[in-house]
Structure formats: structure tokens, C-alpha cells
Amino acid sequence: MNLNKIKIFYDNNNHKSLLIYKFLKKKLKKNIFYYKNLNIVIGGDGYMLSIIKKNKNSKNIFYGINSGNYGFLMNKFSREKILINIKKSKKISISPLQMLVKKKDGKLKKAIAINEVSILRQSKQAATISVKKNSKFVIKKLVGDGLLVSTPAGSTAYNLSVHGPILDLNSKKVAISPISPFRPRRWRGKVVSDKSIIKIKNLDMKKRPISITADNYQIRNIKEATVFTLNKIKINLLYDFNSSLQKKIKLEQARKETS
């Protein structure tokens, strides 16, 4: 819906999202409010990611309102302060990952990821994969459940759950993290420049099939994939003045250190 040049998206599978939407709709009708290219997204992180990808024009700005569980990409909803919070919010820009995939049957696929690209075994057999950064091997043979390539914005999501490093938002880095590595068991991954071209290859397609997922978009039976940061694309997110994405990342770093 478009009100005063603002687009509002809400997760219609979430009753709380609907209630917030109805409240905000009334608020915007009663107040003169203009913010060019603003998209208000009501839901959880997964819904936010889907809306951003469908509306990833670099001129768009996204303000997320959390109606899910954790909502790392979202802002806390306040009935009293919602309009003030939006007006005073601060913008940050992040770049997504691009993945180019060649399937077992030779078909080519592509997708973007704001949080991470995940490579996972799709059978009971462990995955066996090699990883290159540009033309040099990061690891010649990794045996395990899979691998993650994570952006700074996504480094506190799935990447953190597999004990990957939390990256500063301005680090210009990408994290490569193993998922349950079996061989080499103690390999912890690598942090590389966001200018790197990461090449992933399935070393045993017949016996050990693998899938690849960009956030929540999955491609199965892959032969190889190339992943790199799309620095030319900037996704603009708004965060409440006292709760920036950078601050959330630092809080997660502190929790990790004391856990």
C-alpha cells in the first residue's frame, strides 16, 4: 500500500504484523509524513530479506518493524514513538553477495544473498568440497556438512551459530566458515576481502550431492559455484537512532565473548 509516498509491506501470515500495519496506516493518515522511496516492512528477518530482494532498486530505503522473534535486521515497534523513530532513524548501506551456480546437469543459475550463501550436503554422506579465493586454494578438500560464505550483516546469523567470526559492518570482509568439519577437523575457516572471488567445487557429485542456498533460495545438485560481493549494489536500511545495526553487531560480539 502507498501512503504519502510510503510503501508498506506486512507479513499476512503473522497476526501481529497485521495489527501493526492497521495501527500504522491510521497514524500515517493523520500525520503529514514524507520520506522519499521509503519502504516500511513489518515482519521478521526472513520476510524483510524477501521484500528487499523483490525491491532492490538502489534508490529504495527500508525500515523494518519486528513482529517476529529475534528480528536482527528489524527495529523494535513502539506505538508511542513509531513516527519519531522513523524520522530520526539513521541510514546504513550494505552490499549483497552474488552467487553464480553450475548444476550437475549443466544448467546455470544465479541469486543474491544479503546474509549468507550456504553449501550443504543433501544426503547422508558428508560433502567433499574445495574452496578457492581467486586462483589460490583456501582449502583443497573439506569434508563435512558444508560451508558458509557470510556478509558482515549476516555474520551474526547462521554464521555465528556455526562458530564463525562476527565481522564489523565496515570491515569490507567476507567470512568463509565450515559447517561441522570432519576433515580437517580443526579448520576454522577464513576471513577474506570483499573484493575476493570465491570458487566452490563439489569433488564427488555422484556419491556426495550438495545444495547451495542464497539466504532462503535453494538450488540442488550443484557442480560448482562462484560467490562474490556485489559492491556496485547498495541496499539502504534504516535503524532507530539508539539501536543501529553496528550496535547490534557489537552486542553480539560481547555476548559471544562472555558465553
Q: Which residues are catalytically annotated?
A: 45
Residues 6+ apart with CB under 8 A from 26: none
106 DSSP assignment: S
Q: Tell me the one-letter amino acid at 204.
A: D
- What CA–CA distance (Å, rounded) separates 98 from 117? 9
- What CA–CA distance (Å, rounded) separates 56 from 62? 10
- What CA–CA distance (Å, rounded) separates 92 from 34? 19
Q: Phi first, then psi: what are they for 136, rounded to 5°?
A: -110, 145
State the CB neighbour count (10 A cutoff) for residue 104: 15
Four-residue CA torsion sign, 217, 256, 165, 66: positive
3-state SS, residue 76: coil
User: For residue 200, what are the β-bridge partners?
Assistant: 131, 225
Q: Measuring CA to CA, which residue among 113, 43, 45 is closest to residue 73?
A: 45
DSSP H or E run through 84: helix 82-88
Q: Tell me the one-letter amino acid at 50.
A: S
